[in-house]
Structure formats: structure tokens, C-alpha cells
Amino acid sequence: MSLERNLLQNFGVWCLVLLVSSCVANAHNFDDTFDPITRRALVAGSQGHGGGHPVDPGNQSPQVHYKVVDVSKFPPAKGDGKCDSTQGIMKAWAEVCHCNAPSKLLIPKGTWLTAELDFRGPCEAPHIMIEIQGILLGKPDKQAFPRGWWINIMGVHGSFVLAQSNHSRVENLNFVNAKGFNMKVFEAEDVTITNLHITSPDESPNTDGIHIGRIRDVRILDSFIGTGDDCVSIGDGSIDILVKNIMCGPGHGISIGSLGRFEYETDVRNVLVDNCTFTRTQNGARIKTFHDSPQIAAHNITYSNLIMTDVYNPIIIDQNYAVSKPTPSKVKLSDIKFRNIKGTTWSNIAVSLNCSSAVPCQGVELFDVDLRYTGNNTVDKITHSACAHANAKFGGVMNPPGCKI
């Protein structure tokens, strides 16, 4: 996986900057009574939690002057693509973290070969920026990553966030050929992820583009994601989530779940996936839950204004995900909406609502769905809906027709 900056774009290399600051607006906390469509104007943020007026997401933070810590000044770091720069970068991080003024970790032009990078807080610096002008290159030896990840940032508020880091922004990054999840964000509040370009081969397993969980007030915006797994996966404990303007493909779609695999999982609520495109993906809008699950819920979820191009399962609820255990899923799905979804599919079953027999779905609504068949079935050239325990309502233009109640 490589992270690069756009100053080198003229040289034919994706080059992007990671800008992180705690001076971003806090997201508005939404009560369960908010319809996700109403939230679109508010989810960009407001000053303070629980109130205030919506703000323009383009508003800039106050200017902050940073002390620059250049990793090239910390041996053995060297941007030649050959020297292991891990120790030098970590020495530079320690200086950034323990500075009592706003600080910038600068990774200058060059190719910086590294093993695990564990950027861990708490830090004394009130604001931290990590600016990547060159290329971070992961070592090819798997033994260099004993904990199974490459770059971990934890307990650093106002930073590129992977864990326990609040009020954060991640933008303008390029991820290429990750060995696992490209980005995992959890146990955080008020996070904006925008303008990412993520690519992994379509046959690469478990290479989710962005996975989130146990998180609140998150915006995933304006990005291209093509992987061998979910473009975006929304795990348990996710509340007040906006996913908007995502180009997904290849991959397994934008998924809620999988949910219910572990006993400690908690509810998901208030999720809006809006204005996204799916190109030759296995799934489009998907909700998936395990058998033999704890009694949790996923509530107030809306997929709207989606374009599908040759997607196998454009709309799918699968509560029989991984059916190795006989007990039906106990994840209760309610207030689930699919609105204005159009395009093509190479499956005759364009809408599959396979809910749990133990806790049937409640409040599932589909409105204005138009999905045309483009597959190779010469006998059946139309699309169909398939429903089990779904209690679904259908309205507007429906192609395929809704399930008979």
C-alpha cells in the first residue's frame, strides 16, 4: 500500500497529502428521530455537539503555524527506497508528539521503505499534521508486520485516525494493493474522510476499502474505491454515518455489516448512503448479518440516489450470512429504505430481501427502483424480487415489481 502526494503528479505518480488537524467543526449528534435525508444538510457539522446551526463543509479551519519535523534528519531514515526508514520515522514522530506546540511530521520527496509504523498517543502537541510529499513503501517481508497492520495511529486526537482519535480529517490519499483492509477507523467521533483513491485487485480477499465500527458522526465523501471486498463496510456500533459521492468498483459494494458475529457487538443506527455509483461489483446496497447472533439492531438506514452498472446483487439484505450455525440471526432490522436506485444487473434477482425468521424485518421500503437485466439468460430476460420475512412496502416506479405480500 502506498501513500503519495500530488506535487509529483507531473512525473506520472499519484501524489497526495495527508492533512490532519483538530480544528475541524464537530459533527452534529442526531437523535434517532431524524430522517437520514433530513440529515444531509446538517451532517457537515456544527460548532459543538447537540446543537447549533449547520455549517458549510467547505469552511476552512483557522490557520495554524506548525513546527516542522523532517524525517530525513533522523537516521537511519533515507528516501532511497532501499534503507529501512522505520526507526528514523518513529524518532521523528516522538519529537512531534511530545512538542508543546503545533507540529508537523514531514515525509519529504523520495521513497521511504518502512515496516510497522505505530504513531501512538497521547501527545502533548495541540495539533498534529502528517504531510507526505514522497512515497511510503511497505516492506515486502510479512515478518515486518507482526501485528497484521502497517500504519497505526491511536490515541492522537485531531489526526489521521485509525483508533480512538476524535475530531479528525483524512483527505487526499492514494492506497494501492493493500495486504488487508486499506483503512480501518474505529472507536472515534467526528471523523471526515474525503478524496481518497483506493485500489486493490478484484480477486484480493479482505481488502475492504474503508471499514468503520464503534464510531459516531462520520462522513465518507467524494472518493474512488475499487477492491476485492467491500468498498465501504459499516460495522457494529456505528451511529450517524454519511457515505456520499463514492465511486465503487470492483468490489462487494457498500455494506452494513457483517453484524452479529461477536457477542459484544452493539447497535447500528442513522446511516445514509447517497449519490454513489457501482460498476461491475458483486453487490450494491447490502446489509448482512450472521446466524446465531446477539440481540442487536440496525435501525434508520437509507440507500438513495444510486447508479448500478452490471451489478450482480444491486439491492440485498442477507440475514443468512455465513450459515454454519443453525440458529437464525437475532439482528433486528427496521426502518430500512432504498430510494431512487437505477441501472443494470446481470442477475435475474435484482432485489433480494432475505430477512431473519427469528426477527423479521420491519419498515423496509423501496421506492423508485429501476434495474434492467443485461445478463446471458436467454429464457428469462427480466428482473425479479425475492423476499423472505421482509414485510416490505414498494412504491413509485418498480422494476422489478415488488414482492407480493
Domain layout of the chain by residue ranges: 177-405
- The catalytic position among 28, 211, 252, 291 is 252
Sheet strands (E) in 36-176: 67-70, 80-84, 103-107, 111-114, 117-120, 128-132, 135-138, 151-154, 168-176
CATH 2.160.20.10 assigned to 177-405: yes
- pTM for the model stands at 0.73
Q: Is residue 39 exposed (0-12), middle (13-18) or buried (19+ Cβ within 10 Å)?
A: buried
In percent, the amount of the chain with pLDDT more than 90 equals: 65
pLDDT digits (tens, 9 = 90+) for 193-252: 999 999 999 999 889 999 999 999 999 999 999 999 999 999 999 999 999 999 999 999
| DSSP sequence for 321-378 | ESTTSSSPP--EEEEEEEEEEEEEESSSEEEEEE--SSS--EEEEEEEEEEEE-SS-S
Distance (Å, rounded) from C-alpha 116 to C-alpha 53? 42
> Tens digit of pLDDT for each residue in 155-173?
776 544 345 667 788 888 8
**d(C-alpha 389, C-alpha 366), whole Å:** 15
pLDDT tens, residue by residue, 1-17: 433 332 222 222 222 22
Could you tell me the pLDDT band of residue 63, with boundaries at 50, 70 and 90? low
Residue 49 known to be catalytic = no
In this model, does residue 25 exceed pLDDT 60? no
What is the distance, to the nearest Å, from the Cα of residue 260 to the centroid of all Cα atoms in its chain?
A: 19
Strands 135-138 and 111-114, bridge-based pairing: parallel
**Distance separating alpha carbons of residues 185 and 164, to the nearest angstrom:** 8
